[in-house]
Amino acid sequence: MNSKITLFLLTMLITCFGIAQTPGAPSVSAGPPINPDKKACLTPEQRSDLIQDIKVNIENLRLDDKLSFSEQRRGNHPLFIWPVQKANDVTFNDFYSIYNYVDHNSGFPNQLTDFNCGTRTYDTTGGYNHKGVDIVTWPFPWKMLEDDGVEIIAAAPGQIVFIRDGEFDLSCSQSTTTPWNIVVIQHSDGSVALYGHMKNGSTTTKIVGDMVSEGEYLGIVGSSGQSDIPHLHFEVYENNVNGVGVDLIDPYSGTCNTMNPDSWWQSQRPYSDPKINAVLTHSAAPSVFPPCPTSETPNLSNDFETDDEFYFTVFVRDQTVGDIISFEILRPDNTSLFGNWNVTVQTTSPSWYYQYGAYTGYFEMVGEWTWRATFGGDTISHTFNVTSSLGVDETSFNQTSIFPNPFNDVINISSSSKVVKAHILDVLGKSVFSIEDDSNGIIEINPSSLSNGMYFVRLESDTNEMKTIKLIKE
């Protein structure tokens, strides 16, 4: 890691003194591993215990005359909404990536077929074929767990037939022996949905027998039970004439879905769904993969001074080799490009991130900058503020103007302060004109040698006030 940082600092130095606006290669790019040793989300014993417990609960509800829906199939199956949503205070563009679908190939091990005839699923040497959809929090899964960042909601209305809470929720291994926290909902057609791996203490305050509506809060995404990263395991059974836990379905319709012909989603999301989950700025390098289960340290910041360190990240999901991700940095005038570059994706991965840093003195202009990325057909922008590191409020220098603007040769400077430095920068941030006069102050400059176009003039007073003004040469 240290050598990487050194290399990157070196790259940064070269870039700063070379072409200031173009960062080098990203210093880090990696996706989080999940379930590398291919263990089931539940042990066979846990699964049979769970199914037995659900059966007992349903039977008790029936005896108490509180069972709302028979497990005999009647009516149409529900149509699900997406079972997770971000909490109100989470500003990420998106917050999850799918790691595993249901395995339709009953053979094992490594005989994998998801609904789309791909292999985005897993099985085990012990004969477990993945029975649900694993929706993994991304980015900062552990921090999001800590902050209640991703909520599990009822994909369809129904009756709570099982809840378990109080179990350890920071599991780092599929070999964990503690059970998962889970809520199970039975729908009007008798089908049931399992929402597994919830955060300890997060499950709904409702109890078995209570009804929930579509979209109602059920819990927080956690890492309880056999899990090595915060995720929701969503598993669905239909038509339980044979008993709960027998007739597994896959809510996704697809050519290789051997379980059910039609989709159970109101709006089925794409098999692969390339997207930018977050475009962020940081005051220090974020810790993205601390040792499990340490919460990540995002070091998020949107406010910088010119000599502060700046780090930039973009978190994506479903990137495929050969994809292009475009990055841009825009100046405070929001039209001129400070820098732009493309990355060609080298590794297919459900989750990945790109980090650039550290820069100091990189952004020489004060104001609101924009850091943005384009991928998967979307451009996501993130703004950050840069103020002068001289500790001067720029408004204190506001009795300053230049004329004429547009200009041809001489520019007059009118200011209530004594202007001692004037620099002109081109749109790429390169200094193209510079003058200093500490004794008399500067009241006019003559950059007539510049070619026509847009520039920025940065003025500094004898009391270190700064002001930057957009300038047009005609």
Tell me how far, at minimum, the Cβ of 151 lies from Zn ion, in Å. Answer: 18
Neighbouring-strand partners of residue 386: 304, 367
- Peptide bond just before 447 cis, omega within 30 deg: no
Given the rule CB under 5 A, which of 129-137, 182-190, 246-254, 334-342 is the region that contacts Zn ion? 129-137
Tell me how far, at minimum, the Cβ of 132 lies from Zn ion, in Å. Answer: 5
* Closest CB to Zn ion among residues 132, 141: 132
Tell me how far, at minimum, the Cβ of 41 lies from Zn ion, in Å. Answer: 4
Given the rule CB under 5 A, which of 36-44, 54-62, 79-87, 287-295 is the region that contacts Zn ion? 36-44
Tell me how far, at minimum, the Cβ of 294 lies from Zn ion, in Å. Answer: 23
Tell me how far, at minimum, the Cβ of 207 lies from Zn ion, in Å. Answer: 26
Given the rule CB under 5 A, which of 133-141, 253-261, 342-350, 462-470 is the region that contacts Zn ion? 133-141
| Residue number closest to Zn ion, CB atom | 233
Tell me how far, at minimum, the Cβ of 112 lies from Zn ion, in Å. Answer: 14
End-to-end alpha-carbon separation of the chain, Å? Answer: 50
**β-pair type (96-100, 431-436):** unpaired
Which of 39, 104, 164, 233 is in the footprint of Zn ion by CB under 5 A? 233
Q: What is the dihedral of CA 180, 183, 189, 190, to 10 degrees?
A: 60
Are the C-beta atoms of residues 275 and 94 closer than 8 Å to each other?
yes
* Closest CB to Zn ion among residues 132, 190: 132
State how far Cα 319 lies from the chain centre. 13
Tell me how far, at minimum, the Cβ of 455 lies from Zn ion, in Å. Answer: 57
Contact set for Zn ion, span 42-81 (CB under 5 A): none
**Residues ≥6 apart with Cβ < 8 Å to 27:** 4, 5, 7, 8, 285, 355, 356, 357
Which of 31, 132, 219, 251 is in the footprint of Zn ion by CB under 5 A? 132
134 contributes a contact to Zn ion by CB under 5 A = yes
User: What is the number of helices (H) and of strands (E) in the chain?
Assistant: 3, 26
**Residues ≥6 apart with Cβ < 8 Å to 209:** 61, 64, 66, 159, 160
State how far Cα 398 lies from the chain centre. 39
**β-pair type (378-387, 303-305):** parallel
* Closest CB to Zn ion among residues 120, 473: 120
Total chain residues near Zn ion (CB under 5 A): 4
Given the rule CB under 5 A, which of 126-134, 292-300, 420-428, 437-445 is the region that contacts Zn ion? 126-134
Given the rule CB under 5 A, which of 132-140, 158-166, 249-257, 395-403 is the region that contacts Zn ion? 132-140
**Residues ≥6 apart with Cβ < 8 Å to 384:** 281, 301, 302, 303, 304, 310, 368, 369, 371
Which of 34, 40, 41, 278 is in the footprint of Zn ion by CB under 5 A? 41
Cα distances from 199 to residues 74, 153, 210, in angstroms, run 33, 13, 21
39 contributes a contact to Zn ion by CB under 5 A = no
Of 315, 310, 309, 318, nearest to 327 (Cα)? 315
Q: Interface mask (CB under 5 A) for Zn ion, residues 443-472, using x and -? A: ------------------------------
Given the rule CB under 5 A, which of 33-41, 174-182, 315-323, 334-342 is the region that contacts Zn ion? 33-41
* Closest CB to Zn ion among residues 47, 73: 47
Of 292, 290, 310, nearest to 301 (Cα)? 310
Query: Which parts of this chain interact with Zn ion (CB under 5 A)?
Result: 41, 132, 134, 233
